[in-house]
Structure 1
């Protein structure tokens, strides 16, 4: 007759104390509050500091009795600058204004040190504001710094000028490779268009991905022809 094995004691599960669960929940709420308020707070702080900076620059130029800032009206400096730039644009759009622009343009172009800085800054603003080229309008992937490693880049235009003549047999494009998380610095590369894979995401989504070091990934929906057909049976 087989001896009965002794009964195993039932496992006793320790209940989690109520205060520990409550602390974990409060901790999650705390970090959720940071995620919600931090971007808003930082944005308003930067905007407020910019308004104060403009007020401090413009206020010394205006008599105290005519300065609305002393009446508790912040932002007067920013409004004054916007109005001033608009008036300058209106003046330069006329015949006399265009003549004045050509005169100081010729003077600055002939100055030994400032001519290079002036020309570079002028071309950048003309390209970005006047939209002379499709600068920073396409996000792409390139193999950089070596084969097998893909890097996000921005197509800034078609290679032209002397560099374009060197590669006359190839369809070359100018590609800007930004650094992470600061996309204002990077590398300028010249690549054949066949080596560049253009993405569907827009420039804003690409910049968000670069700045967030890949944490913010934009969603992508496949075209209808690439999606599998649904079976109704």
Structure 2
């Protein structure tokens, strides 16, 4: 009975968590319907809500925004909007910082995490996986020198939070694994070994190709 119960948990828990995350994301995206005039909302037109319609609307807005800004007029409007935001105190600092991060993360040419590394953290003798994000710049580089690198140490199982460190380059060991594989290793808390993660990545890519 205990073995069957644990087997059931191993099957149902990932499904339940995935469904919960998707429900939370879609519910949040459904809030975009509030942007529509009240008389245009589904409950006013047909008498009931349509789950997921807000998610479709959000994706459509993102797509249309990207489409419109890919021409000369769109680029001009975006440049004028950014120039306006950059003149507003406090707002300019927040916007510029967020934009730099988003450009690095979502740009097709960006390299937010360029390499997977092995570093000693939080103390000597204790090792963890980190990701190379670049080199210290500005006034920081004047104090540290050129032999330092910037790394991001993710927490597990949620890699969206973590710690930003600047460490000597000699203290980091470059790993012979892809960033995706290293992320899977971190998220699984070390349960999914790098070799298994590589096989999963290959199988996923083969399915996508077919």
TM-score using structure 2 length: 0.77
- Distance in 1, matches of 2:124 and 2:10, equals 38
Match of 1:104 in 2: 81
Match status 1:182 vs 2:175:
no
Cα gap change, 1:97 to 1:197, in 2 (>3 Å): same
Match status 1:39 vs 2:14:
yes
The structure richer in helix per residue is 2
Contact 1:69 1:76 in 2 (8 A): no
Cα deviations by residue, 1:173-195 (Å, 9 ceiling, x for unpaired): 21112233433333222223222
Larger CA Rg, structure 1 vs 2: 1
Match of 2:119 in 1: 142
State the SS of the aligned residue for 2:159.
Answer: coil
Cα gap change, 1:34 to 1:115, in 2 (>3 Å): same
Match of 1:199 in 2: 175
State the SS of the aligned residue for 2:92.
Answer: helix
Cα deviations by residue, 1:125-148 (Å, 9 ceiling, x for unpaired): 111112554222322111233332
State the SS of the aligned residue for 1:173.
Answer: strand
- Distance in 1, matches of 2:56 and 2:44, equals 12
Contact 1:139 1:154 in 2 (8 A): yes
Contact 1:139 1:203 in 2 (8 A): yes
Which of 15, 18, 24 is matched with 1:49 structurally? 24
My pick for the range that moved more, 63-72 or 210-219, is 63-72
Segments of structure 2 that go 5 or more residues without pairing to the other structure are 197-210
Which of 46, 52, 58 is matched with 2:33 structurally? 58
Cα gap change, 1:53 to 1:133, in 2 (>3 Å): closer
Report matched runs for 1:1-233 at 5 Å. 26-58=1-33, 61=36, 63-64=40-41, 73-131=50-108, 133-168=110-145, 170-219=146-195
Cα deviations by residue, 1:115-167 (Å, 9 ceiling, x for unpaired): 11101100001111125542223221112333322222111123333333444
Question: How many pairs were matched up?
Answer: 194
Contact 1:108 1:114 in 2 (8 A): yes
1:171 deviates by: 3.6
1:64 deviates by: 4.5
Contact 2:42 2:48 in 1 (8 A): no
